Chains A and B, each alone.
Chain A
Amino acid sequence: MSSRARSLLVALLLAVPLAAPAATQATRTPRVAIAWDRFYDYDGIVELCRRLADSAPGLCRLEWLGESFEGRPMPLLVIANAATGDEAGKSAMWVDGNVHGNEVQGAEACVYLAWLLLERHGELPEITGLADGRVFYICPMVNPDGRQAWFAEANTSSSSRSGRAPLDDDRDGLFDEDPPNDLDGDGELLSMRVRVPPGEGSWRVSPEDPRRMESVPRDKRRELGADLQLVGLEGVDDDGDGEINEDGPGAYDLNRNWPSGWQPEWIQYGAGSHPLSHPESANIARFLLAHGNVAAAQSFHNNGGMILRGPGTKSREDLYPREDREAYDAIAKEGEAILPFYKSMVIWKDLYEVHGGFVNWCAEGLGIISFTNEMWNGDQYFAERGDGESEFGEGNEKRLLFDDRLLFGETFVDWHAVPHVTYGTVEVGGFRKMTGRVPPPFMIEEMLHRNAAFCVFHASQMPLLRADAPELAEAEGGARYLTLEIHNERWIPTRTAVAVAQHIGTPDIVTLEGDDVQVLAGGAGADRYDLADFEPVEHEPARLLLERGVPGHGSVRLRWIVRGSGPFSVTLRTEKAGSLVVGGSL
């Protein structure tokens, strides 16, 4: 074989793994076929998890985090390649969704991420590398009961956010006794309005579109004949206390139940009696506290198109030191490109104050770089960018246009009269639950893929350690300097700055061992050129503690003074980036 032919062959061989997916991306038949243009109820998500785990033994397994309040097991997909190393020795990413029962697409986003990693493992080098070198803990349904109720019962896009443990919302000693009611039994929970004499209402039917209502200013009501009053969601006064729908299922917020910055109910709505007071949050906390290797976390919510990070309150800004903010910003900036219509935001500053949120606990309590994505943004209906006035109208006008032209009227229920025990007759109508906060079926897959791609990027930024070859140099008196530089090639440090400042977790530990090696001194902060310039520790030079870890896109240089001969090994042990072993010989 000529050298030219040989090099051609080498080039071909090298090209094969890269070329194959390009040739098959739109024509390949999936190993696990899942319809990504729809949503799945609790059982449906569990079934998808089973299929994925069954499809990839050795790479993926299905675990259960515990049970929800109503006794539903909480599935956890673990993607960890047993053949490429010990799970605890790899950086891990936590991904969850659907802590709010109605914010359903978070579960599909979780399952999609797992599917992507498994489906393209062995095909796309980046995916293969992630699935082999990292671990993913994926919890699609933090709130299985809220999800199940949202699918099974009449709901709006916003109802069934809570879990299902009964609470006495109106403090009358009775629990969940006055929920909204599906008055006409059509399976929808819609808005309810009453007709009043013209001029006495605060709304009127829009002259342009009978489906729409217009708010009428007080001074124009008589002139415009405002004859509608909105009286809330469909429902009756179940408990006869004069109020309608004032004590529905649950009414708490599983995303205000976490230890960092937790505040009680009267300061933070939905907080629960104490942090981790609900089985769902307690189950997850137990898992995370037992898995110190989690270095990245993502929580999927809807909606608004946001990539959110903490803190949840201004007072906790100091828990996001500059070094951590650099990592957050680098990842979120890439996220804004991956996720058009999504903006990088800080929770308290750009959204609202949150006490005791999940990603806040991950970041501030556990030292994990953590984001919340608010999936889906109304601008995506007509792919509009910018903050200017929409040519498609505002609010419901735009949504109805979309409903008419692209969904052929599927998402709106026309106003219709229904008898009512208090009001005589009411009119009921409005948008169905599967619109507004979730995209229409034909746009679901894109949302899932882009958000999974953001997770892939975030996961790729978990610390990746590399060491230079150890360098030896003569020191006085026959001893030798041994210098080792360790690099982190990603944005996330082995120890976040908040972990360093607040003493979260254990420092990284570097040990130097060799049968015939005596370690006389050792320390970090070594100068490249002046060999004597380092900070020798007072005790245990063969076991250095690195409280600051290895910074993102940074390095640490360690130096020892040693005597002896023969082989030695240096081992760096970290909580969040596994171990690194470097050998050499004196």
Chain B
Amino acid sequence: MQFPSVASALAVLLASGLFPVSAQDVAQPAPLRMVEDVPGRLRALAAEHPGRARLEQVGRSLAGREILALRLGPAEGEPPALLVVGGLDGRRLGDSQALLLLAERLLSEAEPAAAATFAEASLTLVPLANPDGAAALLGQDGPGREQAGNGRPEDADRDGRVDEDGPDDLDGDGLITWLRVPDPEGEWVVDDHDPRALRKARRERGERGTHRLLPEGRDDDRDGSDSEDGRDGVQPDRNFMHGWKEHDPAGGQAPLSEPESLALCDFVLARPRIFAVLVIGAQDTLVELPKAEAKVPDNWEAPLPSLIDDDLAALKEVQRRLRALPGGKDHKVKGEGLTGGSFLAWTYHQAGRLPLALRLWEPPAELPKPEADAEQGAPAGEGEGAAPSAPTAPGAGAPAEKPRDKGDDADKDDEPGSDASSPVPAAVLAWLDKEHPAGFRAWTAFTHPELGEVEIGGLLPGTLHVTPPEVVAAKVPLLSGLVLAVLDARPQLRFEDVRAERGADGLYTLQAALVDVGALPALTALAASAQTTRPVVVRLGLPEGGARLAGPLAMRTGRLTGGGGRQEFRWVVAAGPGDVVRLTADADALPPVTTEVSLP
């Protein structure tokens, strides 16, 4: 068994272009340099494209890092807007990278249609909503490690000490990986498909575990548990009100207790013209439509468990437009739906906006076909690091004292596939071998101060969460097409069929219809029913000396559905021929529209 030198490990990592490293003295590949300073990148884009892109402040993270938005669209006014958010989960750096590339693409010549769209609608991008979590993965805050939350100090093991036993970079490579500990009480066994991978022991069949898997670290507080009180903190994307889990440490002490989520909530509430929100993360509402069973409640007594079915039509329309895009039909990555406590769930259920979510990638869960797989165990790129785990010697990488319990041959009839619950699944290793051999750090013997002979290795931090750069590159055009398609489907109000008829005695009957000529509704069914948003109010403006004889001065509309949903209005007014009557429809969610009619 050999230790790879730190330098050679770094070189391999850098060559992959995928994973963060903490060494500051080595130039990093372009994709990662991009997400290392998202605010800087956004500033640069705004500076390069004055008049087309501008910065907006969202807020600051718990550690004080800036959260910025970049807004594309007309320099003046408040047109209908789509908000796109990424990086709510600190581990999902690839999504942040995708949103930066999306901004670049939309500001470049690559999307000729964008100029027309952005003359009348705007797109607001928040590429990195949880910068503290990202900083942890980027190694800007100690050894590179996965941190879904914002790192708020917590007493995770409830022993009266805060964050006293986080992971430790035992091998000094600047990364927190995994400890593979031989232990018959462990729940893991070496995967038959790949000796580097582990799967859960099938205890229901009498199979005993052979290993424990622990985050790289030691028992800093000598309480018998390793790395059980680190700094994950509160997850901003579990800190929103709808479906918030009280008393769940990841959800925070109160909804919006975290600066990241509060800032995002305030940002949305202050911008009623955001008609839809698109989250790029682990959620999806476009490949697999969310459940939409609820009817518009007669009486709101409890939060809804699903979307109101009337709102599904709007999601279907966006799905249709997505599938019409090049590559749209082939995008089949499903994800979580409107997870409780998430920004997206709040966006729909409490802010009344259309909840869009697209997941760009998921780690492979299926093993490749056997023939493709044959003898590919230790690919070249992995170097010497892989040597200890020869495919034909299960468990040999470990100085295992106990022989692995192989079970009997009957098991072969229904052999388990790759175990998606594993931190080191066989299917992911097979994929890494082909695409990113440096993503796996070979199990390497280590004498642990408390645990004795163990191995350090496994997937590098972020591997299961960071959308790989080649996928990002491939998906940005689809994303770009999607946001333009959504903006082009935006709700748009028009007055139609405006008529004034002269009756007896100088009285006029005035009629008009207010129509949503956009494909998407002016308000979601939820927003209209729950009254999250002020409805469109149609007001009558009379000429001087004119009088209103019938019909209200101001009238609140019902919900206007997209694709021509309309409501008609009628007044009787007294005025003179040639006088001009003005009708205005104003709303918080949409720009006001006005029409004038000259009396015959």
Please list the residues of chain A having a beta carbon within 8 angstroms of any beta carbon in chain B.
Answer: 168, 171-173, 240-242, 259-267, 273-276, 285, 289, 364-365, 502-504, 506-507, 509, 538-540, 545, 547, 573
Contact = CB atoms under 8 A, between A and B. Distances in A.
B222 interface: yes
Nearest to B533: A171
Given A168-B534, A503-B247, A539-B222, A275 B350 contact: no
Nearest to A240: B553
Contacts of A264: 241, 303, 350, 530, 532
A267 B158 contact: no
Main secondary structure of the interface of A (DSSP, over half): loop
A503 B157 CA distance: 10
A199 to B, nearest CB: 29
B127 to A, nearest CB: 24
Contacts of B588: 173
A502 B554 CA distance: 51
A444 B257 CA distance: 40
Nearest to A261: B246
A507 B159 CA distance: 7
B255 interface: yes
A547 B158 contact: yes
Given A172-B534, A274-B255, A507-B159, 18 more contacts: A168-B534, A171-B531, A171-B534, A171-B556, A172-B537, A173-B537, A240-B553, A241-B552, A241-B554, A259-B254, A264-B350, A274-B241, A274-B256, A275-B255, A503-B249, A538-B224, A540-B223, A545-B160
B552 A365 contact: no
Nearest to A361: B254
Contact of B530 (A266, A274, A547): A266
A509 B301 CA distance: 42
Interface string B269-290: 1000000000000000000000
A509 B159 CA distance: 8
A539 B552 contact: no
A173 B592 CA distance: 12
Contact of A267 (B255, B256, B303, B586): B303
Contacts of A173: 534, 537, 586, 588
Contact of A506 (B160, B257, B300, B532): B160
A241 B553 contact: yes
Contacts of A509: 159-160
A276 B303 CA distance: 19
Given A264-B350, A267-B303, A365 B254 contact: yes
B222 A540 contact: yes
Interface in B284-329: 300-303
Contact of B241 (A275, A364, A506, A540): A275
Contact of A507 (B160, B241, B246, B303): B160
A540 B225 CA distance: 12
Contacts of B301: 267
B158 A504 contact: no
Contact of A242 (B265, B531, B552): B552
A263 B534 contact: no
B155 interface: yes
Contacts of B254: 259, 275-276, 285, 365
A289 B152 CA distance: 15
Contact of A365 (B246, B265, B529, B554): B246
A266 B554 CA distance: 23
A168 B265 CA distance: 20
A276 B244 CA distance: 15
Nearest to B587: A173
A173 B254 CA distance: 31
A97 B403 CA distance: 69
A364 B300 contact: no
Contacts of B246: 259-261, 364-365, 502
B158 A503 contact: yes
B253 interface: yes
B535 interface: yes
Most chain B CB within 10 A, of A274, A509, A547, is at A274
Most chain A CB within 10 A, of B224, B254, B269, B529, is at B254
The 7 closest A-B pairs by CB, nearest first: A259-B254, A502-B247, A266-B530, A539-B224, A266-B300, A171-B534, A539-B223
A259 B302 CA distance: 16
Contacts of B269: 273
B247 A504 contact: yes
Nearest to A502: B247
Contacts of B222: 539-540
B355 to A, nearest CB: 16
B594 to A, nearest CB: 15
Contact of B159 (A172, A263, A503, A545): A545
Nearest to B155: A506
A263 B303 contact: yes
A289 B253 contact: yes
B556 A172 contact: yes
A264 B249 CA distance: 22
B226 to A, nearest CB: 12
Contact of A262 (B241, B532, B534): B241
A267 B534 contact: no
A173 B590 CA distance: 13
7 contacts: A171-B535, A263-B302, A264-B303, A264-B350, A266-B532, A545-B160, A573-B160
A283 to B, nearest CB: 14
Nearest to B159: A545
Contacts of A506: 155, 158, 160
Nearest to A289: B253
Contacts of A365: 246, 253-254
Interface in B511-550: 529-532, 534-535, 537
A503 B253 CA distance: 11
B588 to A, nearest CB: 7
A275 to B, nearest CB: 5
Interface in B475-534: 529-532, 534
Contacts of B265: 273-274
Given A285-B254, A507-B160, A540-B223, A266 B552 contact: no
A274 B253 CA distance: 14
Contacts of B247: 502-504
A276 B262 CA distance: 11
A273 B351 CA distance: 9
A366 to B, nearest CB: 9
Nearest to A170: B556
B243 to A, nearest CB: 11
A267 B526 CA distance: 13
B10 to A, nearest CB: 37
B241 A266 contact: no
Nearest to A277: B256
A304 B535 CA distance: 38
A171 B528 CA distance: 12
Nearest to A242: B552
Interface in B553-600: 553-554, 556, 586, 588
Contacts of A260: 246
A427 B324 CA distance: 68
Contacts of A502: 246-247
Contact of B300 (A171, A242, A267, A289): A267
Given A259-B253, A266-B530, A172 B554 contact: yes
A20 B111 CA distance: 91
